[in-house]
Amino acid sequence: KYMDMHVHSNLSDGSNNVNELISRARELNIGACITDHDTIKGSLIACKEILSIPSTELTSSDTHDVLAYFNSEKDANEFFKKNVKRQGGRLSFWRIKLNSVELIEKLDDYNAFVVLPHPFIRRPKLSYLFFSDDKNKKLLKKIDAIEGVNSFLSSSRNKKAIEWAEKISKPIIGGSDCHTVGHMGNVLTGCFAETRTEFLEEIRAGKNYVIVKKEMHLYNRMTESMITIWNNMKGE
């Protein structure tokens, strides 16, 4: 099975609705994780229609992004009700009120599959610096995988993410991080699995692989960035 593990809909800062993303996933014959910021709604819809995992992207109060994949819809809903409260404010980077330590510890309580996306993205979200610090070694152990390939980023930044993941012996996943449906499926994570549970188990065991179907050129990355900023402003 092939899955785009990092996708955004208009329920957060994407441009397309969930149904459009589901339709595109069917056209491409892939699974897709709707990892909207601070909401699980779109993901739960996708889980009913295509191969998907209850998932979200959360930004801690200290601006570090985490992709969280839950074992069940029940776990995802319960986690959100108990733990996710937004800081609010225009261009707040979708921060919630938990800091990175609190967030990862809460996710650990639910045995969620936790991934660091785009660890070499520009500041203030440069999570590599935080998680590679010696004082955060125990926290890094609770991270299940690193997003080594993100179509939003340059090949040089992705290369750094891959090298870091290999250095710390973490599985590597890939995702498009698309905010418009046209870029969905550019980067896929592949596993020999039939169910979402098996899919995550294969990644935990390091038996998955990453496929880059299409590299996003600089112009496209800049356009996606502008679209994302605009959608963030509208969302607030």
pLDDT bracket for residue 200 (50, 70, 90): very high
pLDDT bracket for residue 11 (50, 70, 90): very high
pLDDT bracket for residue 230 (50, 70, 90): low
Please name the residues in contact with 63: beta carbons below 8 A apart, sequence gap of 6 or more.
93, 95, 124, 125
Neighbour-count burial of 138, counting CB atoms closer than 10 A to its CB (0-12 exposed, 13-18 middle, 19+ buried):
exposed
pLDDT of residue 226: 73
pLDDT bracket for residue 93 (50, 70, 90): low
* Interval 141-196: pLDDT, tens: 999 999 999 998 999 999 999 999 999 999 999 999 999 999 999 999 999 999 99
Phi, psi at 152, each rounded to 5°: -75, -25
Q: Residues 54, 44: contact at Cβ < 8 Å?
A: yes
What sections of the chain are H helices per DSSP?
18-28, 41-49, 73-83, 100-109, 127-131, 137-140, 155-167, 196-204, 218-235
pLDDT bracket for residue 207 (50, 70, 90): very high
Task: For 21-78, give the DSSP string.
Answer: HHHHHHHHT-EEEE--BT--HHHHHHHHHSS---EEEEE-TTS-EEEEE-SSHHHHHH
pTM of the model: 0.92
Q: Is the pLDDT of residue 134 over 70?
A: yes
* Interval 59-92: pLDDT, tens: 999 999 999 999 999 999 999 999 999 876 545 5
Q: What percent of the chain has pLDDT over 70?
A: 94
